[in-house]
A and B are shown apart, each in its own frame.
Chain A
Amino acid sequence: MFTKSLLENPKNITYEGEDSDEQILYVLRQSFLVNIPWVLLMGVLVFVPFFLFPFIPSFISDGFRLGSLLFWYLIIFGYSFQKFLNWFFNVYIISNKKIVDVDFHGIMYKNISEAPLKSVEDVTSTVKGAFGIIFNIGDVYVQTAGESREFEFTHVDTPSRVRDLISDLVARKKHNE
């Protein structure tokens, strides 16, 4: 299901820069619940024209009203689609070789950063706020060696489980080498 925050051994998923001998083990994204604020906002905006129509001056033609109404719903759809894409494609990929953070913001910004699993030094998870505690949503920080690079997996479901999965994977990787 595409609404899942954590996908284990996902099928038919590849990413830019994937090695031929690499296998994606986990794909993480923010909890689906982070979409609730904009979904609610769009839900309210859908009904705005019904409240505004009685106040539209009579000199505005019916054609103008219809055109504006269609444009209004097009904007709502476009904005929702854009927000959904931002959520869906902002992923953290954990493969048998590395950790990859794929970031997209709006339609103009793209950032992909990666670090080998063996360079991971410390994994921390945090759950904070009432929302986080109620729904078990939090952040996972992955500290890598060398430069002071930190991967930040924000608003993920079950952060302690994610931390545990990464820690175990890193421990196995280091043990095998």
Chain B
Amino acid sequence: MNNLIFTDLLRSYGNVLAILILVLEFLYIIFAFLITRQVKLLNHSFNTPYEKTFKSIAWIHLLASIGVFALSILLF
């Protein structure tokens, strides 16, 4: 009986942790999106030959954060 309660507690603890990580990952997507806007603004203010490189990295970073969020929903 005690063992069952303990297992249930652990499971709910794991669920809370999973939800917390998912919330953080969602907030991170917003951060990644802000970085793409920032890169656009930076390139506009100070334009260098690396403009496209920075833009690509920012977009790959945003797509990766969406990918990790989607993968986490599937895995958790």
CB contact under 8 A between A81 and B57, given known A61-B14, A107-B38: yes
The distance in angstroms between the C-alpha atoms of A81 and B18, with both chains bound, is: 26
The interface on chain B, measured as residues whose beta carbon lies within 8 A of the other chain's beta carbons, has a size of: 38
Set B28, B44, B68: member contacting A67, Cβ < 8 A = B68
- Would B54 and A85 count as touching, CB distance under 8 A? yes
By beta carbon, the residue of chain A nearest B10 is A59
Q: Mark A71-85, 1 if CB is under 8 A from B, else 0.
A: 100110110011001
Q: Does A2 contact B (CB under 8 A)?
A: yes
Q: Could you tell me the distance in whole angstroms from the C-beta of A128 to the nearest C-beta in chain B?
A: 28
The main secondary structure of chain B at its interface with chain A is helix
Contact call B75/A77, Cβ cutoff below 8 A = no
Cβ-based interface call for A14 (8 A): yes
A residues in contact with B21, CB < 8 Å: 64, 67-68, 71
Interfacial residues, chain B to chain A (CB-CB below 8 A): 10-11, 13-14, 17-18, 21, 24-25, 28, 31-32, 34-35, 37-39, 41-42, 44-50, 54, 57-58, 61, 64-65, 68, 71-72, 74-76
Q: A interface vs B, CB < 8 Å?
A: 2, 11-16, 57, 59-61, 63-64, 66-68, 70-71, 74-75, 77-78, 81-82, 85, 88-89, 91, 93, 102, 104, 107, 110, 112
* 22 residue pairs from A and B, CB less than 8 Å apart: A2-B50, A12-B49, A57-B10, A59-B13, A59-B14, A61-B75, A63-B76, A64-B17, A64-B18, A64-B76, A67-B68, A71-B25, A81-B61, A85-B35, A85-B38, A85-B42, A89-B42, A89-B46, A91-B46, A107-B31, A110-B41, A112-B45
